[in-house]
Amino acid sequence: MASSKCPSCGNYTFELKENEPRNSNYKMFFIQCTSCGSVISATDYYSAGVLLKEQEEKINRIENALNVLISLNESLLRK
């Protein structure tokens, strides 16, 4: 199997570095060479999947609370 190689220095090891580029509103992760620091790739700091899952959980809690309120309201109207 082929190994990834730094195009600048030929090194075979890489690291993930957190960075907030100037004039950016968001942090990024840079995949860079451990030897020369050349950036090979960049990826989002926040995982879209994780953020969506958190939003889904919040929406579910709101929906459950709303259902409880609707049920209580219906009970009060029957009295």
Is residue 79 predicted with pLDDT exceeding 80?
Answer: no
Q: Are strands 39-44 and 14-19 parallel, antiparallel or unpaired?
A: unpaired
Ranges of H-type helices in the chain: 48-78
17-75 per-position pLDDT tens digit: 999 999 988 899 999 999 999 999 999 888 888 889 999 999 999 999 999 999 999 99
> Residue 3: helix, strand or coil by DSSP?
coil
Which residues, other chains included, contact 79 with Cβ-Cβ below 8 Å and sequence gap of 6+? none
**Domains of the chain, residue spans:** 9-46, 47-79
pTM for this entry:
0.57
